[in-house]
Structure 1
Amino acid sequence: MKWIPLWMHRLSSPPTFYRFATVMRPWFMALAVILTAVGLYGGLVTAPADYQQGDAFRIIYIHVPSAEMSLFVYGVMAAAGFIAVVWRLKLAESVAMQSAPIGAAFTFITLVTGSLWGYPTWGTWWTWDARLTSELVLLFLYLGVIGLYHAFEDRRQGARAASFLVLVGVINLPIVHYSVKWWNTLHQGTTVRLFGASKIEGDMLWPLLVMMGAVHLYWAASLCGRVRTDLLSLESGKQWVRDLAQREGR
């Protein structure tokens, strides 16, 4: 197993990632914008109204991708946080910490759009439903990670401490995902399945899948930008940063 840290160190070199992020970020963002336009047009214009909810269901094209990203980003943070705690890789620390504000934003959007969707569906803006409550706990976890990270003067020490909190909070992810199965809940069950038939018509499904691709690309673009800036700050005394500053200064 000794090859794993060496493999990680080679691929997680800050200057290597900086170059990768510089090249890929514009592509990620451009594709995200294109897919967002296609997905929203498909969801808001071409998809038919739901036979029960009418046009109110169309908020699904914002709510579901955001909800999926709230879990996905935390999972990425947990993987990066584990690497940061075990092998103390600077890039892993940066990925974990710079993902937190993005994940918090997606979680907040999930709660707001869920509330807007819940009122016409359930007749209330909020209920202490198992899915909603565990999603709110997820937002608090994101905010806790951000706060703990910034509570330390030494940013790397703060990143490792916050990574422990991320790893403890992983237990909430299956609770969010399976809450509709484990408890009696108002929230509807899973409608989109990677394996097996989805419980949604194809002309409603494809815009949703496009929007999911769009938010993943947006996350990648945003993360590339945030980690690039963070690495420049963390590595400010290194030769590669000085060389970069000289080249861009010309």
Structure 2
Amino acid sequence: MLTVGVDLAAEPVNTAVAWLDWASGRCSVRRLVIGADDALIVDALSTAGKAGIDCPLGWPVPFVEFVMAHQAGHVNVPADTTGRAWRRNLALRLTDQQVYERTGLTPLSVSADRIGHATMRCAAILARLAREGRPVDRCGRGAVVEVYPAASLKLWGLPHRGYKRPQHLADLGRLVDELQAAAPWLDLGPHEAACRRHHDALDAVIAALTARAASQGLVATPAKDQMDTATAEGWIALPTTPLEDLRP
């Protein structure tokens, strides 16, 4: 099986894609590209058994409704909701709030932070996939699932903070060391150096590992009463078992 991880940024220069080959009792990084354009990403998603994208797949439903109401001149603020709580529901999706409840981590707001630029690009990529006959189920039930590498790392007991700061390159190297110790069956091969130098590359690998967990049913999925919202907003796949359970 081939899993793909995409660390999606607004521009190709900071976008990384990793291909993981699960065969012969090992997991090998077959290919890793930093500086991935839309065409490469679409091709990767189209050929993967399961792919994980580190980017929101949608916007909060209350935010979309708010923008539409504002455009029409009919914004109504709920009388029983304080300003901060109301804005929180506009800024964070249901899945973002679920991630916080489980991990203590708050994903960036797709409606109130710069990650919205990456999500615009992601929406265009998903639309292109749909036109090519591969529509994406934002709940993760199809070939593509939304992932959050920091949350996956934390749930797997690995360092999840600080490694993205340019001045903390040593932290990135230590994370690679701990990942290899926790998953000796993971072969980074000639791409190890890139993972030690570029956090985008490592996040793409973590995204592909999380995609593997999703393919094996080892992630949290929306409850029945959450499904409609998750289908519109996207749903972050959080691992439910140790990293060792992904051993081929």
Using the size of structure 2 for normalisation, the TM-score is: 0.26
Whichever of the two has the greater Rg, that structure is 1
